[in-house]
A and B are shown apart, each in its own frame.
Chain A
Amino acid sequence: MALTPRLALGTRLKRLAFVLVVLAALGGALGALLLSAQAFGRVTRATLQVDALFLARRPLSGATLRWRPAPPGARLPDGVTLEDIRQAYLLAYSELTYAHRSGDTTGLPGRLSGEALRGAAQVTTPATGALLLDWAHQATPLGGPDGTFRLRDTLWTLRALPGPDGWQPPVIRRETRDVTLSEHGGVWRVSRWQVTAARAVPPPPPPPLAVQTWQAVAVTDWSDWTREEWTATLDRLTPRGLGPLVLTMPAVPTLNTGRALGLATRLARQRGVGTVVAFESPFTPEGLPGRVTAALQAGQALALLPGPLAADDPLTRAALAALRAAQPLPLVTEGAAGPGESARVAAAPEPGALRRLPGAPRLPWKRRAYQERLQDLPRRGWLAPSLDALMDGRGALTPLGEAVLGAPDAP
């Protein structure tokens, strides 16, 4: 005889409620899963679309062109036309770079014509996958009859072909070109160009740089700073003898960035503070023209931090050597390949290297570990993430500032 205990009504209601709660929880979890799957799908699609847009756009070129004085008697157009010619000439190179990398030659007739277009179309079909870079153009305008313009350009070029494992050894050289541009329908195009001389420039040995004495402070988002904002920042640096000032380049440099680099370097020099130009994005061969341009714009700076090396391959090493040859500033490298340059940046203690100071943590449970890390920081030879990380607006030191700038503890 089986004994089936009769359940009270209250117990039944409790069980029913329990089952309902479990079912509701399961339903809620399922709903949340479906919603998040939809959201994930939408985010993925948006990312894909953004990537496609970036693919469709021509990459920005970091190359610049400086006009040299024209020979006497040359017939020069007005300044606006000269600026049009400069833009058209530089865009011809960036279009050619794009055509080589992507195999998309539809843009070539917009930038090149005549003999130059024939040559470019012949070279880029089938696609070579080659990497072509140009930087630091210095052109002598030679003028010409109506609708044409001749110039003689001295520039740096890099060309590398894809190899069995990555890239073949690149050719980096200084070229002289005779270029003819012709105008049609208000658009200037390169119609003829010829390399008249080319020579490889061996990189100079890296000059020594005493980063052990630095108390460097980084600043960001300074492209649109006025003279007063620069003065205020320098006023906070000088009482404690901090320096040099590390100008962290924005991800996309603008015309203002170039002007601000020149202004900051000049103002800092007047106060005896050195400046350093720093890139945060990884250093790749494609980033070389932008680095050279920034270094030439900063002129009198102490050093250039080209950013962490993306990879330790022959092409990146060759690009680093080209960077040393193409601009005068000593290099402070970071990441994969260290030796061979003036100095290094490191997050961990390393003799002779510039130490990157840790930023204050945002999460409360990481504060104790941060306090412990502050104990063994050097008094010099460091790079602070920002001025506010060291001191507040009135000059009072933060814990990090106290650790590296405060009075030494009396024994």
Chain B
Amino acid sequence: MRGGRAAWWLAPLLAAPLGACRPAPVTRPSGAAPAPTAPVTLRVAAGTLTVTGQGPVTVTCDTPAGPLVRTLSAPGRLPLPPGARTCETGIQTVAAAPAPALGTGPDAARDPAASRAPGLTGALTMTPGAIHLSEREVWTVTADLRRTGGRLPPDGTLVTLTGRGASGEQVQATRLTAGGVARWQLTPGTAGAFTFTATSGAWTARASGTALSGLLGGRPQAIFTGQQVLLGPLRWTDGALPDDGTPVDLRALDRAGRTVWQATVPVTGGQVQADVPRVPGAVTLRAEVAGRAVRFPWR
């Protein structure tokens, strides 16, 4: 009798943790839209999907990068990603673009990023302002973005950075924001002033910096014998030897200044020793290290 009563007491005690450990019922965003009260219609024009009708509706579009799923709480417009083929609501399917039109030419007229992230503000910063070439220094370019209300833009907003140096060096790289920040780490290969432009939708910002040569004495000491070129000893302004493997660019130029021969040789122990072939038409040999060049007439 006593044992039976104890069992009655124990039963809820045992059942409570078991019940507590049961997983909560899973609620996922349903793929099928809740039945709208008025018929929903889809229309595509100029890369934008227009949804008319009533009630929340889930639109699924077929794109080369996988399905685009958006739930619209009210009728509205939805910018379509490039290359979208069809869009559907579960009831209706529309072709987003006729296939032949997709196959021809780039369609750069529309930019979904612009319509997706309206009214961005922000700053583009670049540290340090000047760096010394080949001395393990990198530029960190940071784009810090806010929406006009001061809120953060959604993570994954695309920011494209384009840069150009004084001697024609170019870079283009795209990053996605996280917490409103997109960051690039860059190492220039040539000396001179660099200008960087970051764009995201309608927002554009500029920053600039200078790449300097850190070579002691400004000009590498060099000897050219006609067959062999010797550079060095090379030192940075702080007295250190360059890292082994720092590239030195050798070029043979003809009378018009065109490159007829080119090689990249590494620095070893602060010195470079390289054999140069006899190139027909070459009148000048140019050796460049860390943005500083030295020229020799060919003998």
Contact = CB atoms under 8 A, between A and B. Distances in A.
A116 B67 contact: no
Given A119-B83, A164-B30, A194-B102, A159 B176 contact: no
A347 interface: no
Contacts of A130: 66-67, 69
Interface residues of B, number: 40
Interface string A88-112: 0000000010001000011011001
A163 B30 contact: yes
B156 A124 contact: yes
A268 B6 CA distance: 70
A164 B65 contact: no
Interface in A107-136: 108-109, 112-113, 115-125, 128-130, 132
B25 to A, nearest CB: 11
B98 to A, nearest CB: 11
A106 B176 contact: yes
Contacts of B85: 195, 198
A220 interface: no
B65 A197 contact: no
A372 B112 CA distance: 71
A91 to B, nearest CB: 14
Interface string B99-142: 10011001010011100100000000000000000000000000
A119 B64 contact: yes
B65 A159 contact: no
Nearest to A131: B66
A109 B60 CA distance: 24
A28 to B, nearest CB: 31
B119 to A, nearest CB: 18
B65 A109 contact: no
B41 interface: no
A177 interface: yes
A194 B64 contact: yes
Contact of A163 (B31, B66, B68, B174): B31
A123 B63 contact: yes
A178 B69 CA distance: 24
Q: What's the interface size class on A, roughly?
A: 35 or more
Contacts of A124: 65-66, 156
A164 B27 CA distance: 7
B80 to A, nearest CB: 9
Nearest to B103: A196
Contact of B65 (A106, A116, A162, A198): A116
B69 A119 contact: no
Interface in A128-179: 128-130, 132, 159, 161-164, 168, 171, 177-178
B178 interface: yes
B67 A159 contact: yes
A170 B167 CA distance: 53
A375 B121 CA distance: 81
A113 B66 contact: no
A230 interface: no
Contact of A123 (B68, B99, B113, B172): B68
Contacts of B116: 122
B86 to A, nearest CB: 10
A193 interface: yes
B82 interface: yes
Contacts of B163: none
Interface of B: 28-32, 60, 62-69, 79, 81-85, 99, 102-103, 106, 108, 111-113, 116, 154-156, 158, 171-176, 178
18 contacts: A96-B65, A96-B66, A100-B66, A109-B173, A113-B174, A118-B81, A118-B82, A119-B64, A119-B65, A119-B81, A119-B83, A120-B65, A125-B154, A125-B156, A161-B60, A161-B69, A164-B28, A197-B99
Given A192-B82, A194-B103, 8 more contacts: A109-B176, A119-B83, A122-B113, A129-B28, A130-B69, A164-B31, A195-B64, A195-B83
